[in-house]
Structure 1
């Protein structure tokens, strides 16, 4: 069953490696016996994603992406393996969707004359206030 990212982009199940592992933390006997956490591995470079999306994903400052270009997601918040699997796939989908559109280029702007005037007036007021703090001559 394919994993749909957007209308035009989907991933095959063979591209995502899911592994059931034991959860960490509190939970008593259930945590010790049941492998309910999911460890998801997604190799970005060898995936069927479009090249610009791959580049943006690899350049993103996400700590879950290894130096080899593998995205690792660990889902262990839910008690059942199915819900953790759905959570891991949802987070993978959201991570890829953030990189679908290129970032908007910043257009540098200049402050208006009124803004410059207001800034200079404020500087004068602050300077006058500080000059009043000096020594007083009699």
Structure 2
């Protein structure tokens, strides 16, 4: 069973996370100019103490959010309230973390049967003959 995002959020150290609210464009009408409703979540990725493969996957998945100092900055401004934007930012980070923790599926080698192999070789012979016929014209 999949873990709830709140349970995963509880495992993140408090000193690795900082939140602040900023003014944002988007829904809110005239209120958008007065109230800081967008949530900006900063997570120090090094403080999470992730395993190297998980860190590498998180780095590739969230490269747009990662700074040079190892902080992941997620800005949420979809909603009109601070609380909703805070939850949105947290959910987005936890979903990135969950994707990074899951192992990618191993690729299985494809296998051709005997009929498929002979068809492929026959096609190669036909293609080879076509290309050979495109050679230089020899004067007779």
Task: Specify if TM > 0.5.
Answer: yes
Give the match for residue 5 of structure 1: 8
1:63-94 deviation digits (Å, cap 9, x = unpaired): 21223322111100000000000000011110
CA drift at 1:51: 4.7
Change (3 A) 1:34 1:118: farther
After superposing the two structures, state which structure 1 stretch, 84-93 or 60-69, moved more.
Answer: 60-69
The alignment of Structure 1 onto Structure 2 pairs a total of residues equal to 124
Question: What is the 5 A alignment of 1:12-91?
Answer: 12-25=13-26, 27-60=28-61, 62-91=63-92
CA contact (8 A) 1:11 1:48 kept: no
Q: Distance in 2 between matches of 1:35 and 1:101?
A: 35
Secondary structure at the counterpart of residue 64 of structure 1: coil
TM-score (norm 1): 0.70
Runs of 4+ in 1 over 4 A off after TM superposition: 116-124
RMSD: 3.1
Secondary structure at the counterpart of residue 101 of structure 2: coil
1:19-69 deviation digits (Å, cap 9, x = unpaired): 100012464311100100001111111224445432331244632122332
Secondary structure at the counterpart of residue 5 of structure 1: helix
User: Which structure: greater helix fraction?
Assistant: 2
TM-score (norm 2): 0.69
CA contact (8 A) 2:42 2:72 kept: yes
Give the match for residue 108 of structure 1: 109
Change (3 A) 1:112 1:64: farther
Change (3 A) 1:120 1:22: same
